[in-house]
Amino acid sequence: MPQIRELRAAAEADRPYWLAVQEVIDHWADADAQYDAEVAQIDWAQAQLDDLLATPDTDPLDIASARADLRLRRMTLPTVSPAERFYPALTAANTARAAAAGGAAHIVTDTDVDRAIAAANDADRQALRTAHRRCSDLRRDLDRAELAAAASFAAADSRPVEHVLAQQADLETELRVLAAAGQYHVALPLAIGAGSPEDRTHAAIARTTELPFTLAVVTAPPGCQLTAALGAVSDAANNADRHILWCTPTADHLPHNALGADNTNVDDLHQRLTDNAWHAERGEILIVEAAAAADPAMLADLTEHAAQQQARVILLDTTPATWPLQPSARLLHLAHTDLPWSATIADPTATTTRRGAATPTTPDLEPVISQAARLHPDMLTDDLRGALTRRNTLLREHQRAHDAQRAASWMRSRERSAADDLPPQPGLDL
């Protein structure tokens, strides 16, 4: 496009000189036509005179008249041909045109611009055809790979079972988190107030803190909006005399903000819990940022402890999916799938999809309980069948509890709206 713009500018600069050349050529063509017409008239007069001379008994007056007509026509014919008249002017116009362009080889016309555009379009079409062929090749290779993978699984049905059984500890951790996550306590909801209607991050954090459940997961891009929303959580907790413990995954991770002085990491906190040196207070809020990097077994222990102490845990999934997967990436994916109150805040400036409930993964990298659910019923062991039953039961319980919580929230909002619509009455405090 810059080259085309440059060519267009050169063609526009050449246009006055091109018009001057065309004007000389047009005048030359008109003069040529006029000269040819006059020569044709002379030839006609000569032919008339020859016919009269060849005819016997021709009146001498007719011959004299024909000779006079021929002589008159020859007198009107210009003595200088059109080429002699206009060639110097054409040469001068071409010379001026070449000088303005910096040489005849540098003259650019609209034809040159059209030729450049056509060449660029041809190159684009060729690149598009090449990309389509490459896409077709990739689709073919992908189909072949999927067929090969399906054939491998069909040839060795026992491998998926062995893969799941080898992760029995992770499966138990996932069930422990799901079981503790839905524990309901009236001391857990914390209202942080409404933010800007356009601030989706504040709204999602507000809905999360108002939940009465032990564990909630929020997937959100890091940034000033998340920091402001967490600041509102800190202010609301201080006003409600609620303690917040800010956590990072390990000691190698820096605290994401300075909202509170009480910062720690999951490793140290879990060690203090193991040593019986720390117990969560009733209503305490444990916020873990970049939770995917934490150890899933430690998160399960902390979640179970929070459920027993009527405290709550909020896991912030603030890092994009990486390879290899972070330790708790599968656990957070399971929470998004099985906890209906989990929230995902999309980043409008991101070019890649963040990890969430709808993010597809390969089967062997999904949560272990999800891998077990893919197995054929005849391949399940008693333990796996019991784990799947337990998961389905928790799914129904979580959905019912969430539906009931939303219905109660809706009723409370209706009651507040109705109370706001009542006219004030003397002596009645609304």
pLDDT for position 149:
85
Q: What number is the average pLDDT over the span 328-357?
A: 74
Residue predicted with more confidence, 418 or 89 = 89
* Structural domain containing residue 138: 128-155
Would residue 114 count as lying in a domain?
no
Would residue 118 count as lying in a domain?
no
Instruction: Indicate if the pLDDT at residue 67 is higher than 70.
Output: yes
Asked if 316 and 381 sit in the same domain, the reply is yes
Instruction: Indicate if the pLDDT at residue 184 is higher than 70.
Output: yes
Task: Name the least confident of 65-69, 207-211, 331-335, 383-387.
Answer: 65-69
Q: What number is the average pLDDT over the span 185-205?
A: 85
Partners of 184 in beta bridges? 213
Would residue 178 count as lying in a domain?
yes
Asked if 366 and 392 sit in the same domain, the reply is yes
Q: Which amino acid is located at 234 in the chain?
A: S
Asked if 357 and 210 sit in the same domain, the reply is yes
- Spatial CA neighbour of 325 closest among 190, 167, 168: 167
Report the half-sphere exposure of 353 (CA within 13 A, side-chain side).
7
Query: What one-character DSSP code corresponds to residue 217?
Result: E
pLDDT for position 157:
55
Percent of the chain with pLDDT over 70: 88
pLDDT of 322-340, one tens digit each?
Answer: 888 899 999 999 999 999 9
Asked if 54 and 187 sit in the same domain, the reply is no
Q: How far is CA 268 from the centre of its chain?
A: 40
pLDDT of 125-151, one tens digit each?
Answer: 999 999 999 999 999 999 999 888 877
Instruction: Indicate if the pLDDT at residue 369 is higher than 60.
Output: yes
Residue predicted with more confidence, 416 or 237 = 237
Would residue 423 count as lying in a domain?
no
With vertex at residue 189, the alpha carbon angle to CA 311 and CA 182, rounded to the nearest 5 degrees, is 60
155: its two tokens: 């040839």
Instruction: Indicate if the pLDDT at residue 352 is higher than 50.
Output: no
Would residue 12 count as lying in a domain?
yes
Instruction: Indicate if the pLDDT at residue 313 is higher than 90.
Output: yes
Q: What number is the average pLDDT over the span 246-268?
A: 76
Q: In whole angstroms, what is the distance from residue 426 CA to residue 358 CA?
A: 55
Most confident of 82-96, 185-199, 325-339: 325-339
Asked if 202 and 265 sit in the same domain, the reply is yes
Instruction: Indicate if the pLDDT at residue 309 is higher than 60.
Output: yes
**Residues across the chain:** 430
Per-residue confidence at 357, pLDDT binned at 50, 70, 90? very low
Residue predicted with more confidence, 156 or 193 = 193
- Spatial CA neighbour of 214 closest among 139, 111, 142, 285: 285
Q: In whole angstroms, what is the distance from residue 264 CA to residue 288 CA?
A: 10
Asked if 65 and 144 sit in the same domain, the reply is no
pLDDT for position 111:
85
Number of domains in the chain: 3
pLDDT for position 428:
41
Give pTM, 2 decimals: 0.60
Q: Under the phi-then-psi rule, with left for phi > 0, alpha for psi from -120 to 50, and beta for the rest, what region is 241?
A: left
pLDDT of 99-117, one tens digit each?
Answer: 888 888 888 888 888 888 9
Would residue 420 count as lying in a domain?
no
pLDDT for position 355:
45
Asked if 351 and 236 sit in the same domain, the reply is yes
Instruction: Indicate if the pLDDT at residue 413 is higher than 50.
Output: yes
User: Residue 247, class by beta-carbon neighbours within 10 Å (0-12 exposed, 13-18 middle, 19+ buried)?
Assistant: buried
Asked if 151 and 227 sit in the same domain, the reply is no
The CATH number of residue 363's host domain is 3.40.50.300
Asked if 274 and 394 sit in the same domain, the reply is yes
User: Residue 129, class by beta-carbon neighbours within 10 Å (0-12 exposed, 13-18 middle, 19+ buried)?
Assistant: exposed
Instruction: Indicate if the pLDDT at residue 206 is higher than 60.
Output: yes
Instruction: Indicate if the pLDDT at residue 300 is higher than 70.
Output: yes
Asked if 148 and 294 sit in the same domain, the reply is no
Q: What number is the average pLDDT over the span 367-375?
A: 91
Asked if 410 and 282 sit in the same domain, the reply is yes
pLDDT for position 409:
80
Interacting residues of 18 by C-beta distance below 8 A, sequence separation 6+: 97, 109
Instruction: Indicate if the pLDDT at residue 290 is higher than 50.
Output: yes
Asked if 219 and 339 sit in the same domain, the reply is yes
pLDDT for position 287:
94
CA distances from 56 to 48, 64, 70 (A): 14, 15, 20
Would residue 123 count as lying in a domain?
no
pLDDT for position 338:
94
SS3 of residue 353 by DSSP:
coil
Would residue 366 count as lying in a domain?
yes
Per-residue confidence at 418, pLDDT binned at 50, 70, 90? low
Interacting residues of 205 by C-beta distance below 8 A, sequence separation 6+: 192, 218, 220, 226, 229, 230, 232, 233
Residue predicted with more confidence, 397 or 380 = 397
Task: Name the least confident of 96-100, 262-266, 426-430.
Answer: 426-430
Mean pLDDT over all residues of the chain?
85
39: its two tokens: 């020569």
